[in-house]
Structure 1
Amino acid sequence: MTMTAINLASLLCSRLCHDLLSPVSAMNNGIELLADEHDPEMRARCIDLLSESAKVSASKLKFFRLAFGQGGGFSESVDTEEIREAIAGLFGFDHRIQLGWMVDDPVMEKQAVRILLNLSLIASDALVRGGNLDIGAEGNEIVIRAEGRRLVFDEQIEATLLGKTPQDQLTPRLVAAWLIYTLIKERNGDLQIVRPEPNVLLFGINLM
């Protein structure tokens, strides 16, 4: 079975819904609590919960718009400050992950942006107890380094990044890795995955 546009859209939508379920559910809970609560202090807490959940939802949508959709409109490039803000917003509210940004170019072409964002998503997911996520890009090269007290990098995700997962075995959890592999392949590029230390994960990408 080969991947069709419908299969891909279905997997991406499933991943998007999974990631948005938590903040949207929190908003729903906050509205229900607010409707039944009359204590001013508790109502203020409910409003804070709603505000934070709305910010998280908006940040996730902005990230996925760039990572999966037609971010940046129909232009072939994206402002790198917009990319940085999207990544920072994905996990910036609880300060669990600290972002290091080493990208000097003012813009990046859209295909490289999708690769960078989806790989950042995978790297941040591996930092299950938080840590540092450092991102660098120059020309056709992208480097992402994740370091934390505990790193969990799924073997299936690694296999999918390297093109070793059959398309009929893809799941929403693996779709970002498959998208990265496909985009790199289209550019005749290569991806290197290195674990120099138990708590460090490195990705290196070279695009032709």
Structure 2
Amino acid sequence: MNLSPTDFASLLCSRLCHDLLSPVGALNNGLELLADETDPAMRERCLELLSESAKASANKLKFFRLAFGAAGGFGESIDSREAQAAIAGLFGDNHRVAIGWLVDEESLPKGAVKVLLNLALIAGDALVRGGNLDIGAETVDGHVEIVVRAQGPRIILDDELRVALSGDGGVPVTPRSAAAHLARALVAENGGSLQVSEPDAPALMFGAAFAAPAAAA
């Protein structure tokens, strides 16, 4: 990935803004409707929509704060329940994606949480008609192992994302592929490997294994 840290941060911000545009736009539209609406039933419906959009915006911000940002402060690990809550908030409310959380570890290295969240984001987005998203992670002998599995009636993983995850070729980084490049880079920085299932596989699977960062003194 031949890209400066500043440019890469800009691409991550572009991805975040793109994902927030819809719920924030819905908030703005709902407020405009509410200002002109006099029917009590319609006003109540507008308030419901505003509440849903506000919740969706907050959930996305919480997720991206963990996946892209510096959440967790200066510590080396993050409570795995935070990652679980972030994923549940991002996908749980749409009732299209059923989350299977297979993580017994109480905490995970910060880099591992970012890899896990970004792989879950990509796999969940690939479930275009909904389905099951299973996420597992454990630390074994100083190494982190992560598996993300998506299964549903229709799974679409864009070639751009597949190439970015596999590391094949010098594909340019775009806001769409930024999460894939981030996951790949974090795994590579810790001497690990990242695998992607074949395009014709019955389920989409990501597997990552890499050295866990040493705990801070």
TM exceeding 0.5: yes
Aligned with 1:108: secondary structure? strand
Q: How do residues 51-70 of structure 1 correspond to structure 2 at under 5 angstroms?
A: 51-70=51-70
Give the C-alpha shift of residue 93 in structure 1.
Answer: 1.1
Q: How do residues 9-158 of structure 1 correspond to structure 2 at under 5 angstroms?
A: 9-139=9-139, 140-158=144-162
Aligned with 2:148: secondary structure? strand
- Whether contact under 8 Å (2:166, 2:196) holds in the other structure is no
TM-score of the two chains, using structure 2 as the length reference: 0.92
**Letter of the 2:51 counterpart:** S
The answer on 1:206 being equivalent to 2:209 is yes
**Letter of the 1:202 counterpart:** M
Aligned with 2:161: secondary structure? helix
TM-score of the two chains, using structure 1 as the length reference: 0.96
Give the C-alpha shift of residue 193 in structure 1.
Answer: 1.3
Give the C-alpha shift of residue 199 in structure 1.
Answer: 4.0
Partners of 1:152 and 1:93 in 2: CA distance? 21
Root mean square deviation of aligned Cα:
1.4
Aligned with 2:150: secondary structure? strand
Figure out how many residues of one structure are paired with residues of the other and give that number.
207
Give the C-alpha shift of residue 164 in structure 1.
Answer: 2.5
Which consecutive aligned stretches of 4+ in structure 1 deviate over 3 angstroms post-superposition? 195-199
- Whether contact under 8 Å (2:165, 2:196) holds in the other structure is no
Moved more, 101-110 or 2-11: 2-11
Aligned with 2:105: secondary structure? coil
**Letter of the 1:149 counterpart:** P
- Whether contact under 8 Å (1:149, 1:199) holds in the other structure is no
Deviations 1:162-192 (A, max 9, x none): 222426x211001111111111110110111
Deviations 1:70-112 (A, max 9, x none): 1112211111111100001001112110000010010001000
Deviations 1:13-40 (A, max 9, x none): 1000000000000100110000000000
The answer on 1:159 being equivalent to 2:163 is yes
Structure 1 runs not aligned, ≥5 long: none
**Letter of the 1:142 counterpart:** I
- Whether contact under 8 Å (1:150, 1:199) holds in the other structure is no
- Whether contact under 8 Å (2:163, 2:169) holds in the other structure is yes
Q: Which residue matches 2:214? A: none
